[in-house]
């Protein structure tokens, strides 16, 4: 049985500049657990040998494996390995672990200098239970993804606000 392809998208908006948002989401240390509720490291970051010392070079050499707790009670372990980095606008990455496929994050400046972040996922579950349940549970999995993404957006907004507050002191 071939696992169902999930084509998921989200758009987040922030009152921050594109550069401020980029510094957090494209951090080579992939410190997403610092701001994303329900996200933890599944294992330490892996960094392959690389040339160059820019953040882009470090990001391209990094694989992060993170665990996400879904609102429905299950946990997914997903690895992220950037394959394209176009600072401060776009990151394309391969996903592995419980979800395999690819993703893309694009930042753009919108009204009043605010930032819009568009996130696209094209992934298939690799776990047997998700593959078997997908024909009937796809709406529930899609709902859980949307809820997880809303928590991520809220967490990043709060994190950016706190950083701005601390920087203005």
pLDDT digits (tens, 9 = 90+) for 78-99: 999 999 999 999 999 999 999 9
| Residue 45 three-state SS | coil
Task: Identify the CA nearest to 119 among candidates 148, 77, 161.
Answer: 148
User: Which residue segment(s) compose the domain that 50 sits in?
Assistant: 6-167
User: CATH no. for residue 108?
Assistant: 3.30.530.20
Task: Identify the CA nearest to 68 among candidates 137, 152, 154.
Answer: 152
Neighbours of 30 (CB within 10 A): 19
Is 36 a member of any domain?
yes
Neighbours of 24 (CB within 10 A): 17
pLDDT score recorded for residue 47: 94
Residues 90, 17: Cα–Cα separation, whole Å: 15
Cis, peptide link before residue 150, omega less than 30° from 0? no
Residues forming a β-bridge with 117 = 12, 107
Assigned token pair, 154: 């809220």
In the chain, the number of structural domains is: 1
pLDDT score recorded for residue 169: 65
Is 1 a member of any domain?
no
pLDDT score recorded for residue 20: 96
Confidence of residue 14 (pLDDT cuts 50, 70, 90): very high
């Amino acid at each position: 049985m071939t696992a169902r392809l999930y084509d998921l998208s989200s758009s987040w908006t922030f009152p921050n500049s594109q550069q401020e948002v980029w510094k957090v989401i494209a951090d080579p240390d992939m410190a997403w657990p610092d701001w994303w509720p329900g996200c933890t490291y599944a294992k330490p970051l892996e960094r392959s040998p690389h040339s160059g010392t820019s953040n882009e070079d470090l990001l391209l050499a990094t694989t992060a494996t993170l665990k996400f707790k879904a609102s429905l009670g299950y946990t997914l372990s997903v690895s992220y390995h950037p394959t394209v980095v176009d600072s401060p606008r776009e990151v394309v990455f391969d996903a592995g672990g419980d979800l395999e496929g690819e993703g893309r994050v694009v930042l753009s400046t919108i009204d009043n200098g605010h930032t819009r972040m568009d996130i696209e996922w094209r992934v298939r579950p690799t776990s047997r239970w998700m593959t078997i349940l997908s024909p009937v549970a796809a709406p529930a999995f899609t709902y859980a993804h949307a809820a997880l993404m809303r928590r991520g957006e809220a967490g990043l907004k709060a994190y950016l606000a706190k950083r701005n507050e601390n920087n203005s002191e």
